């Protein structure tokens, strides 16, 4: 009798191990792995290029990010153009490590390292300003500029990261029961699955927005303040893109000026640039800074 009970116990124990391993191995991804797949915790990311790789940000990367976001040359072409304090960078890094990747969600900061394992670039595909969207942005140290790293890494985000996030968030190819928590963790874009990538770039920084255009980004159609308001610069000549950007700023001048086409900071409007291309633009709500707005759904099959 004791032998039968012992055998039965061993059988149940063996079944438990087999079932547990089956659940743990049911999630397969070329980009994402979980430290704790059963509870969808501690997500890790890996994107590989020819002479670089990107991974989920680590606390070990903190000093690099403080240096990157404290560099005025780098930040001149990023977001609002303002350098970040070490304290704000530390908070942002910890948020990605603990509250995003730690809790199993994919929208967080990635560190890009070269073939010698030296970090040189930051890229984020974080939460957007509308449900279902993720805003992509990147910055890198000046000594790596002009070597096509921006285009290479951004291409991976659009062509590999985004389709994988979309599929997992929609449960495509996954067991809906075994991977329920993982699917839910990927529905982290305003409570929804990923449906669209957003990006911004300064009009006077063509190296940035031309990469986006090559990757299939188009002028944003979402949240246009007035689709009928179009600033037309088609065939107009500017001495530089900075001159064009300054002229755009004039449309946000105070009402006391003679400008009769005053626009509202923070709102999106349409324009036709000097080459006849449709763009969506806005002025930063706080800074004297213009932005082109782009969106991309090409990763949805």
Confidence label for 18 from pLDDT (cuts 50, 70 and 90): very low
Distance CA 237, CA 221 (A): 26
Task: Give the pLDDT of residue 255.
Answer: 60
Q: Are the CB atoms for 38 and 96 separated by under 8 Å?
A: no
Q: What is the pLDDT of residue 73?
A: 93
Residue linked to tokens 């984020």: 124
Q: Per-residue confidence at 213, pLDDT binned at 50, 70, 90?
A: very high
Give the pLDDT confidence score for residue 219 in this predicted structure: 97
Percent of the chain with pLDDT over 90: 76
The pTM of the full predicted model, rounded to 2 decimals, is 0.86
Mean pLDDT, range 237-260, rounded to an integer:
81
Tokens 């349409």 label which residue?
270
Query: Apex CA 264: angle with CA 260 and CA 269, to 5°?
Result: 90
pLDDT of residue 256: 52
Lookup result for tokens 């303040």 = 225
**Tens-digit pLDDT profile for residues 65-113:** 999 999 999 988 787 788 999 999 999 999 999 999 999 999 999 999 9
Which of the residue ranges 23-27, 122-126, 276-280 would you say has the lowest mean pLDDT?
23-27
Per-residue confidence (pLDDT) for residue 23, from 0 to 100:
44
- In this structure, of 11-20, 101-110, 165-174, 237-246, the range with the lowest mean pLDDT score is 11-20
Residue 252 tokens read as: 């946000």
* DSSP symbol at 130: S
pLDDT above 80 for 258: no
Surface-to-core class of residue 237, CB atoms within 10 Å of its CB (0-12 exposed, 13-18 middle, 19+ buried)? exposed
* Domains and their CATH numbers in the chain: 28-194 (3.40.630.30), 198-301 (no CATH)
- For the cut 80, the answer to whether the pLDDT of residue 238 exceeds it is yes
SS3 232: strand
- Residue 5 pLDDT class (50, 70, 90 cuts): very low
The per-residue pLDDT for range 154-211, each reduced to its tens digit, is 999 999 999 999 999 999 999 999 999 999 999 999 999 999 999 999 999 898 899 9
Stretch 252-274: mean pLDDT? 81
CA distance 117 to 102: 23
Contact 267, 251 (CB under 8 A): no
| H or E element in which residue 202 lies | none
Window from 199-203, 225-229, 294-298 with minimum mean pLDDT:
225-229
Give me 143's structure tokens: 């000594």
Mean of pLDDT values over 227-249: 91
β-pairing verdict for 230-232 and 269-272: parallel
CB-based contact 47:31 (threshold 8 Å): yes
Q: What is the mean pLDDT of the chain?
A: 89
């Amino acid at each position: 009798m004791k032998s039968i009970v012992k055998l039965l116990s061993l059988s149940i124990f063996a079944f438990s191990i087999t079932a547990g391993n089956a659940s743990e191995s049911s999630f397969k991804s070329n980009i994402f792995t979980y430290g704790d797949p059963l509870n969808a915790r501690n997500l890790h990311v890996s994107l590989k290029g020819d002479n670089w790789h990107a991974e989920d940000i680590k606390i070990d990367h903190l000093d690099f990010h403080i240096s990157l976001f404290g560099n005025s040359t780098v930040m001149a072409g990023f977001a609002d153009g303002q350098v970040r304090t070490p304290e704000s960078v530390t908070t942002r890094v910890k948020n990605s490590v603990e509250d995003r990747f730690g809790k199993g969600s994919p929208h967080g900061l990635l560190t890009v390292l070269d073939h010698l394992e030296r970090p040189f670039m930051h890229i984020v595909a974080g939460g957007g300003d509308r449900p279902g969207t993720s805003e992509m942005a990147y910055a890198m140290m000046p000594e790596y500029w002009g070597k096509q790293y921006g285009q290479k890494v951004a291409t991976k985000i659009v062509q590999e990261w985004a389709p994988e996030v979309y599929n997992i968030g929609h449960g495509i190819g996954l067991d809906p029961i075994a991977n329920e928590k993982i699917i839910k963790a990927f529905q982290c874009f305003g409570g929804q699955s990923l449906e669209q990538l957003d990006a911004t770039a300064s009009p006077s920084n063509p190296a940035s927005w031309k990469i986006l255009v090559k990757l299939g980004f188009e002028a944003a159609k979402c949240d246009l303040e007035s689709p009928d308001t179009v600033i037309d610069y088609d065939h107009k000549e500017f001495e530089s893109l900075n001159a064009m950007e300054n002229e755009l700023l004039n449309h946000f001048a105070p009402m006391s000026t003679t400008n009769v086409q005053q626009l509202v900071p923070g709102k999106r409007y349409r324009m036709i640039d000097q080459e006849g291309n449709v763009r969506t633009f806005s002025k930063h709500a706080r800074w004297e800074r213009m932005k082109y707005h782009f969106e991309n759904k090409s990763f949805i099959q």
